[in-house]
Amino acid sequence: MVGKKTRETGRTILISSPKGGSGKSVLARHLLVSAAQAGLKPFGLDFDRQQTLTKWGARRDKTREAFPDFAATPIEAAELQNWRGALQRRNGYDLTIMDTPPSVEDHLPAIDGLGVAADLILVPAVCTQDDVEAVGPWIRMLTEKGFRAAVVLNRANRRTSSFARMRGALIKAGPVCPTEIPQLEDIHVPSIKGLTLLDYSKSRGIAPFEEIWTYVRREIGL
Ligand SMILES: Nc1ncnc2c1ncn2[C@@H]1O[C@H](COP(=O)(O)OP(=O)(O)OP(=O)(O)O)[C@@H](O)[C@H]1O
Ligand SMILES: [Mg+2]
């Protein structure tokens, strides 16, 4: 049955947002690395035709050939039209992270199906009016459908009044992860080699990702 959580399929997180460029793939790869570093067996399912996560994974595999100490994060590309079949591939993994394309409104039945299978839906949102206008109704709808979901604020600058305003507006719409991801100019640099900030113990910016991982683990009971 779809959505049945057996030990074989482990836990599942769906990352979904109606807005493009909100940080879905960045969050997906940091969660995959967090899980691997915690000694879990993570698995990435990339439903985006752009295959941003899959390509990152291929670069990571290449890097790991020379530096095998970087944790393994297997990733497979999947099609939203065949979401049921894709879910079968989770077997044997502790945590599956599902990355999706931005145009969720065009794939509502698939997103619904993946949502049912997920223990938690994370909705990254950049702190702008445009993002809040798109994400507010989305998180409200997910919550009304009975899904466990939370917004993750991204590219946040706590010192601005607009950040507080956007955060306030989203809190009224649905659950918001207590830690936000700040604006990090160099976040794309480790990605060139298929890495994340978490792969460098001294990198600036790892603390928010560690906190988000702690939050996520608690939410899904992992
Ligand atoms: N916290 C951040 N600080 C600075 N840049 C960021 C941050 N988060 C994401 N970015 C940058 O924003 C861009 C979009 O991020 P990402 O690819 O994760 O978004 P996405 O939601 O997956 O996009 P798409 O909808 O196209 O799949 C990337 O270039 C990424 O490096
Ligand atoms: Mg993406």
Pocket test for ligand 1, best of 25, 99, 104, 151 (most atoms within 8 A of CB): 25
Return all residues near 94 (Cβ < 8 A) that are at least 6 apart: 10, 11, 35, 40, 41, 42, 222
Q: Does residue 3 fall inside a structural domain?
A: no
Cα torsion 110, 113, 118, 122: sign = positive
Q: Is residue 2 part of a domain?
A: no
pLDDT per residue, tens digit, the chain (222 aa), is: 444 455 567 999 999 999 999 999 999 999 999 999 999 999 999 999 999 999 999 999 999 999 999 999 999 999 999 999 999 999 999 999 999 999 888 899 999 999 999 999 999 999 999 999 999 999 999 999 999 999 999 999 999 988 999 999 999 999 999 999 999 998 999 999 999 999 998 777 899 999 999 999 999 999
Ligand 2 center to 23 CA (angstroms): 7
In this prediction, residue 119 carries a pLDDT of 98
- Asked if the structure places residue 186 within a domain, the reply is yes
Cα(6) to centroid(ligand 1), Å: 32
Residue 76 covered by a domain: yes
φ, ψ of residue 71 to 5 degrees: the values are: -65, 145
The number of distinct structural domains making up the chain is: 1
Domain containing 53 — which CATH number?
Answer: 3.40.50.300
Which residues span the domain enclosing 85? 11-220
pLDDT at 8: 67
**Which ligand is the nearest neighbour of the Cα of 24?**
1
Q: Which atom of ligand 1 is nearest to the CA of 27?
A: 18
pLDDT reported for residue 193: 97
